[in-house]
Structure 1
Amino acid sequence: MSESTADDLARPAHDPRAWPWREAIVDLLGRTRLAQPDQIATAVNASTARLGIDITVYLIDYEQRLLHPVPEPGKDVGGPLPVDATLAGRAFMTTAARATGPSGAGGSPLWMPLLDGSERLGVLRIDAQDNAVVDTPEFQAQCDMLAVLLGHLVAIKLQYGPHLDRTRRTRRMSAASELLWRLLPPLTYACERFIVSAIFEPCYTAGGDGFDYAVDANTAFLAICDTTGHGLRAGMGTAAALSAMRAARIDGDGLYQMARAVDGAFAEQFTDGRFCTAVLMELDLDTGRVRYINAGHHPPVILRDGKVAARLDAGRRLPLGLDDPQLTIGEVMLQPGDRILAYTDGVTEARDTGGKLFGEPRLLDLAARHTLAGRSAPETLRRLSHAVLSHLDGPPADDATLLLAEWSVDTAAELTP
């Protein structure tokens, strides 16, 4: 929230400069306390009408290619907008407000990023009446205040009905993908010293891939995993792995105990020799020290100044689910601004029409270029994922998951308007 917005909120209720916006926010909170997901868009405009603005909510689809308007009774919201070719998409990619001039009749709207904290949910189209100029810092600060609240409301209401989630989907989701999406954390999280983002494809038919993260005091936990097989059976293995890791972590266990918890869960639940390759990491947010276990997975890489500075190829043990009691923990030190890139084999083993692999060199080259171009972690992964899908000859033969974490005091600023 900007300093001017905070000042407005601190003004007394009788101050005419603050009252309309505060009144609208209070009214919105009241309207949405018991609102169904399909009532959010109507509630927003009922509350903001007194401000002389009209808001259209757009949500990003699972492919992160199109921004889809949330339907609103009695209002023509139009069709989806491509991220890569519109001003709305520019606001989404950069998490910054975009306007080309005054709004109103014949004018252009203000596009605001819609975030739940640092998770990119979509954008808001804000049309102001009476040809009000929407590209002033004062107007955008007030709109940002509304956008922050609305982002949280949308994220909460997504859980209570299909209306908002249906807006984001372009086709039916498989049972395995439905299971995993319900288990995974938000795709992006940022705090003052750390950012993590992940993406996985095919988003509607993924089965065995998964990721996880958590932050507690001065420690960030990260994991990426890939269970053998395909479809729902693989998804059930990944669900067991994630659940066992979380139960152990919440109980205060370290990396070794978390890995052994997955071994135990697989031994108890599966009799078909199923296993899960994975990398489990702990990052000390104060010092940059990374401790990790690599359970038969591709080694993550550390990107520094556009180059590979190290690989996490120590800390080796058998894949999770295979009884391996040895205690081996790898360790590496990060420098401020370093990024850790982890991936599953569906990324590097994607093949084009001639059978050529996408390959790790291409992946690392693209990741480095996007980093040097100043793109945020979630935007870097969005572009990497699309590059992998563009390389493919037909539907993906395997899940492709990417996870990117950055240790830096500047990370939060990259993802806030």
Structure 2
Amino acid sequence: MNAANDAWPWRAALAELVRQTRLAQPDELAGEVAAAAGPLARDAWIYLVDQEQRELIAMPRPGAESPPSLPVETTPAGRAFMAVEPVAQPGRLWMPMLDGTERLGVLELVTGGDARFDDEDFLAGCDLFSQLVGHLIATKIPYGDALLKVRRRRRMSEASELVWRLLPPLTFVSRRAVVSAILEPCYEVGGDGFDYAADRSSLFFAIFDTAGHHLRAGLGTAVVLAAVRASRRSDEGLAEMARAADRALEEYLPELRFTTGVLAELNLESGRLRYLNAGHPPPLLLRRGRVVRALAAGRRMPFGVADPHLEIAEDALERGDRLLLYTDGVTEARDRHGEAFGADRLAVLAERETGQLPAPEALRRLCHAALAHYDGPPADDATLMLVEWSAEAVRTMLPVPSAAPD
């Protein structure tokens, strides 16, 4: 080890990890991570969060018995995942593992009794190492099934396979905004979907819900997503995107009834919001933790039903405002007495569950609280999307370089 590595030993671990994983298959990643961390930790395990974001599941590696899965809600590992901060225990350190800001799981570093968790250089090295692991996981996912299979508890439907491969990552964070989404039932998603794109001073975001179920609904959402993206990437506006979706559904899937959705653009400098609503539930505006109103303007017919009277609505956001978008699978779900969940209950739950939590964790809790209302599995897709215009929110989305032993 040279002088630079002696002064900051994580340098060697990072270099070794990059070198060893260049040609690694996805199923070999866990073993390579453990080997690269070897000079600095006695062992290292990758835990990926399951599709429902309820458990952390250890990624298998050759010649080693995998440790048991860990509940997100009640374990130190889960706390590291939820709070996006290191959590120390005697002899081990749990590091949040992200691809940029997308929460993938946690990295367990078995350190023994001599680790100094109050050493900022040590924690900074752990953070860099775990973030590199997160990036490598995201990079390796398309090349095999091992990483996807770890996160699954059962078979995924054909429609879900289609839709999940088309969607962007569940979380996006820039210096001025946060976007996060969650879909349930994650193994049976049919016609729900979402999209976003940030370029220069503009943030585009959208949510979709195609009528029907199973693969045909998924095909409808796929067509709408493709049409809207093609229009957006040709520098066309919201009205043109909506018309592109109409034309695509009419041409390729005329037998489908329609797709509802919201298309929106947020100016990241001024907070000016422009949006249109194609037969979809109106988004809720949360300000300082309270629902202040629904964005009920900008109405037009659902996509697939040509509407010459298209209207683009405008609103003005304040810094720190959040927009909650959702599909009717959330509000129309019924309990065992037949009572619908309803938009009012969603608003109350949004105020109670989101608070000042980071957007991904707020949505995870909101979704699980809503699912608890259902009488059995959801009968329809239930999708939630939270958009926050705030520079301060970014601070809660990045790992905190400190850890106090439990």
Global fold match (TM > 0.5): yes
Higher RCO, 1 or 2 (CA under 8 Å, sep at least 6)? 2
What SS is found at the alignment partner of 1:232? helix
Amino acid at match of 1:41: A
What SS is found at the alignment partner of 2:87? coil
Provide the residue aligned with 2:299 in structure 1.
316
Provide the residue aligned with 1:96 in structure 2.
85
Amino acid at match of 1:74: G
Amino acid at match of 1:394: G
Say what the alpha-carbon RMSD is for the aligned residues: 1.4
What SS is found at the alignment partner of 1:287? coil
Provide the residue aligned with 1:388 in structure 2.
370
1:215-226 matched pairs, under 5 angstroms: 215-226=198-209
Distance 2:133 2:115 in 1: 22
Compared CA separation, residues 18 and 265, structure 1 to 2 (3 A): farther
Task: Please point out which of 193, 205, 210 is paired with 1:227.
Answer: 210
- Cα distance, 1:13 vs structure 2: 6.0
What SS is found at the alignment partner of 1:251? coil
Task: Please point out which of 16, 34, 44 is paired with 1:45.
Answer: 34
- Cα distance, 1:76 vs structure 2: 2.3
Task: Please point out which of 50, 60, 85 is paired with 1:61.
Answer: 50
- Cα distance, 1:306 vs structure 2: 2.4
Q: Does 1:369 align with 2:376?
A: no
Task: Please point out which of 271, 274, 284 is paired with 1:301.
Answer: 284
Structure 2 length as normaliser, TM-score?
A: 0.95
1:133-148 matched pairs, under 5 angstroms: 133-148=116-131
Provide the residue aligned with 1:128 in structure 2.
111
Distance 1:71 1:333 in 2: 49
Compared CA separation, residues 71 and 171, structure 1 to 2 (3 A): same
Distance 1:133 1:76 in 2: 28
Kept in 2, the 8 Å contact 1:191–1:411? The answer is: no
- Cα distance, 1:19 vs structure 2: 4.9
Provide the residue aligned with 1:15 in structure 2.
4
Report how many residues are paired: 399
Distance 2:208 2:226 in 1: 12
What SS is found at the alignment partner of 2:274? strand
- Cα distance, 1:20 vs structure 2: 2.5
Provide the residue aligned with 1:157 in structure 2.
140
Compared CA separation, residues 27 and 261, structure 1 to 2 (3 A): same
- Cα distance, 1:379 vs structure 2: 0.7
Kept in 2, the 8 Å contact 1:110–1:135? The answer is: no
Distance 2:63 2:114 in 1: 23
Provide the residue aligned with 1:87 in structure 2.
76
Output one character per residue of 1:312-354: Cα deviation in whole Å (capped at 9) or x when no partner.
2111111011111334100000000000001001101111111
Output one character per residue of 1:214-233: Cα deviation in whole Å (capped at 9) or x when no partner.
10110000100100100000
Provide the residue aligned with 2:404 in structure 1.
none
Task: Please point out which of 388, 393, 397 is paired with 1:411.
Answer: 393
Amino acid at match of 2:21: T
Kept in 2, the 8 Å contact 1:348–1:358? The answer is: yes
1:64-75 matched pairs, under 5 angstroms: 64-75=53-64
Q: Does 1:255 align with 2:238?
A: yes
Distance 1:404 1:68 in 2: 26
Task: Please point out which of 160, 178, 201 is paired with 1:177.
Answer: 160
Structure 1 length as normaliser, TM-score?
A: 0.93
Amino acid at match of 2:35: A
Distance 1:135 1:360 in 2: 46
Output one character per residue of 1:264-321: Cα deviation in whole Å (capped at 9) or x when no partner.
1011112225210100000000000110010111110110022222322111111011
What SS is found at the alignment partner of 2:53? coil
Tell me whether 208-217 or 384-393 shows the greater mean CA deviation: 384-393
Kept in 1, the 8 Å contact 2:354–2:366? The answer is: no
Compared CA separation, residues 16 and 271, structure 1 to 2 (3 A): closer
What SS is found at the alignment partner of 1:375? coil
What SS is found at the alignment partner of 1:326? coil
Distance 1:242 1:388 in 2: 26
Output one character per residue of 1:66-89: Cα deviation in whole Å (capped at 9) or x when no partner.
000000112222111000110100
- Cα distance, 1:117 vs structure 2: 0.8
Distance 2:295 2:54 in 1: 32
What SS is found at the alignment partner of 1:391? coil
Kept in 2, the 8 Å contact 1:283–1:289? The answer is: yes
Amino acid at match of 1:14: A
What SS is found at the alignment partner of 1:15? helix
Distance 2:2 2:242 in 1: 55
**Structure 2 unpaired stretches of 5+:** 400-406
